[in-house]
Amino acid sequence: MSEYSPENIKYAKGVVKYFNRLLALIGVLIIFIIIQLVNPGLLKPQSKGELTQLTEEVDAENLIENGIHVSSGLIVDEGYELVLNTCSGCHSLKLVTQNKGNKADWKEVIVWMQETQKLWDLGSTEGPIIAYLAKNYGQSKKGRRMNLENIEWYELE
């Protein structure tokens, strides 16, 4: 029987095929291991408890009672989400809800923060934000705003 007999060629082809499958399998295994190393949570189904907890956290964040967005204290009205997103980055929104002013007063506060506190240009959101603030936190009858209490201050870089 010669080296290149049909039987030997068939046998060799079989070995190559088997070897290729083995390589593919090892490849898949390596990818799996890399995913596990980089992000162990990715392939693990989230437990029901975790999901419930997440949902509860989101619910608590979005809770609205008697027209007040509970976690921020903001009055729910047109534009409150803009204020929520724009004004909560550097300080507590208590600073907002405990202040009063007309449009000009609020504009002044914003300009002051832009000039001294690194507040960015609010662009097209400035109008709706000021409108919301003046409408819901407008001039009070009292001459002076209440003293601020229990404010959480954040470190600014």
Identity of the residue, 70 or 109, whose beta carbon is nearer to ligand HEC in the bound complex? 109
**What's CA 149's distance to the chain center, in Å?**
28
Minimum distance from residue 48 beta carbon to ligand HEC (Å): 38
Site for ligand HEC in 92-131 (CB under 6 A): 95-96, 99, 109-110, 113, 117-119, 129
Distance CA 87, CA 126 (A): 11
Tell the burial category of 51 from Cβ atoms under 10 Å away from its Cβ (0-12, 13-18, 19+). exposed
**Both structure tokens of 41:** 């949570």
Residue 117: CB partners within 8 Å, gap ≥ 6?
90, 156
Q: Which stretch binds ligand HEC (CB under 6 A): 21-29, 40-48, 60-68, 84-92?
A: 84-92
Distance CA 24, CA 16 (A): 12
Identity of the residue, 45 or 143, whose beta carbon is nearer to ligand HEC in the bound complex? 143
Q: Judged by CB under 6 A, does residue 71 bind ligand HEC?
A: no
Figure out which of the listed residues 76, 84, 86, 128 binds ligand HEC, where binding follows CB under 6 A. Answer: 86
**Both structure tokens of 29:** 């295994």
Q: 132 and 124 in contact (C-beta within 8 Å)? A: no
Q: Judged by CB under 6 A, does residue 89 bind ligand HEC?
A: yes
Q: Judged by CB under 6 A, does residue 134 bind ligand HEC?
A: no
Residues forming the site for ligand HEC (CB under 6 A): 86-87, 89-91, 95-96, 99, 109-110, 113, 117-119, 129, 133, 156
